[in-house]
Structure 1
């Protein structure tokens, strides 16, 4: 079996877990994709080691475009996307993601790796904390649309920088402002599409000077890995979305947070 086929199959297996978690927790899956795909790319020696992380992040974002679309469709059918609020959130995350994608090539690999690891640790700790509390927060009312757009611009920029769909950041923000957990997850899934789209545009544009389509790249996006992830994650996302009605999400959050801490440590030590 060729190395290329083994790589695609490895990414397809990764897509199974990513798609399920995308639908279940409203995350795009980048928190898992980036460290695991980085290891896969290093194993198959696809590109220089110093460019592995940024390619993993860009490919993660591109895959989230498909995964979040599948999850958002499922959440919309279940009535869990608050369309009165979503356009304002989408505007902010789109602006932040576009800026971040264009700036990606300017940041050293060590800085990107550090930002990712620190962000993952903070998200994991937040998940551990929130999983011990009620799923619905009533701490504060929703801010005005302009302030909400500013908050989500920051979230969109950070999400695109570390290759995630934004759900891990958006869901805690929206539930803090008293939005029902299921609607927050649905909104995050819809916003993941926007973050992935605008972030990918930036990564493809900024990476075109480094890689060519003939080598399997669209900018910083590695197309064979993208194909492998998407071919399974698209079908698993609706299953994860349906599972929010039946599975103990708080317990899954704890397990997922523990996994994130392990992956963040591994990425910093590798």
Structure 2
């Protein structure tokens, strides 16, 4: 048990740094790591992927709160955008959790694997919509629609939405630092509403391990949250000091390895 808890603490530290540095909730690392951890613990194959996603979303609540607070100290969070994105996000996560519930564990793992590889290519080669020199602030309908799509995808993949929110905001003329900061704040409604829906969807499943609330495994959630809350602030500070291009490329290599492993 001590070794398992240590694993979750280390995983939380890594996820926290990623959350603050790149504006991602760490789910791209947490979900695959939990899948392998739950396999080793003997969790039923039918539910282990759903349990990993739900647990990942629950941990991202803590990561995103601390990352957003650190960014907010620097005045970088655009709260007016967060408010309208959040309306779409809450509706989208409900639909995304329902979508995930309709997929079996093996198919869900392959979908996550494809997503990890796509994100790796995007990060390594900096592919995505380019930021205009000056653009208008996104309008409410665009924010609601984008929030819905971001929430839906985030609930399926167990992520904080940064890999989708940051490109959308920069495409609409928001500076990179403000986009990362605003994305961190959007991670809170994504994670909270997504985790709640996974709790409901898994409630009472007889295959769940002890200490689970629906599809949220409490020991993993607490272990990861303890260190992620600390290291998210560290990552947010680095985001304002470093040019993380090389780190993104290394992170991309890790994502390729993770994504490919789901097909082997």
TM-score category (smaller protein): over 0.9
Pick the aligned partner of 1:28 from 25, 29, 49: 25
Q: CA deviation at 1:125?
A: 1.7
Alpha-carbon distance change, 132 to 92 in structure 1, aligned in 2, over 3 angstroms:
closer
1:199 counterpart residue number: 194
Alpha-carbon distance change, 142 to 114 in structure 1, aligned in 2, over 3 angstroms:
farther
Does structure 1 residue 266 correspond to structure 2 residue 256? no
CA distance in 2, matches of 1:96, 1:152: 7
Q: CA deviation at 1:139?
A: 8.2
Does structure 1 residue 121 correspond to structure 2 residue 117? yes
1:150 counterpart residue number: 145
1:170 counterpart residue number: 165
Over residues 137-192 of structure 1, what are the superposed CA-to-partner deviations in whole Å (9 max), with x where a residue is unaligned? 54864442112211220111011111000001111111111110011111111111
Pick the aligned partner of 2:40 from 24, 43, 53: 43
Pairing 1:233-248 to 2, within 5 Å after superposition: 233-248=228-243
Unmatched 5+ residue regions in structure 2? none
2:12 counterpart residue number: 15
Alpha-carbon distance change, 158 to 139 in structure 1, aligned in 2, over 3 angstroms:
farther
Choose 102-111 or 157-166, whichever is displaced more: 102-111
Pick the aligned partner of 2:79 from 78, 83, 86: 83
Over residues 211-252 of structure 1, what are the superposed CA-to-partner deviations in whole Å (9 max), with x where a residue is unaligned? 599811000101111111011101000000001122222222
Q: CA deviation at 1:209?
A: 2.7
Matched residue SS, 2:79: coil
Over residues 63-105 of structure 1, what are the superposed CA-to-partner deviations in whole Å (9 max), with x where a residue is unaligned? 0011101100101111110112211111111211122224432
CA distance in 2, matches of 1:211, 1:249: 44
Unmatched 5+ residue regions in structure 1? none
CA distance in 1, matches of 2:2, 2:213: 19
2:204 counterpart residue number: 209
CA distance in 2, matches of 1:234, 1:27: 14
Q: TM-score, length-normalised on structure 2?
A: 0.93
Q: CA deviation at 1:58?
A: 0.6
Q: CA deviation at 1:55?
A: 0.7
Pick the aligned partner of 2:93 from 78, 91, 97: 97
Q: TM-score, length-normalised on structure 1?
A: 0.91
Pick the aligned partner of 2:52 from 49, 56, 71: 56
Alpha-carbon distance change, 230 to 211 in structure 1, aligned in 2, over 3 angstroms:
farther
CA distance in 2, matches of 1:86, 1:184: 10
Alpha-carbon distance change, 148 to 215 in structure 1, aligned in 2, over 3 angstroms:
same
CA distance in 1, matches of 2:259, 2:200: 28
What is the number of residues matched between the two proteins?
264
Is the Cα contact below 8 Å between 2:14 and 2:228 reproduced in 1? yes
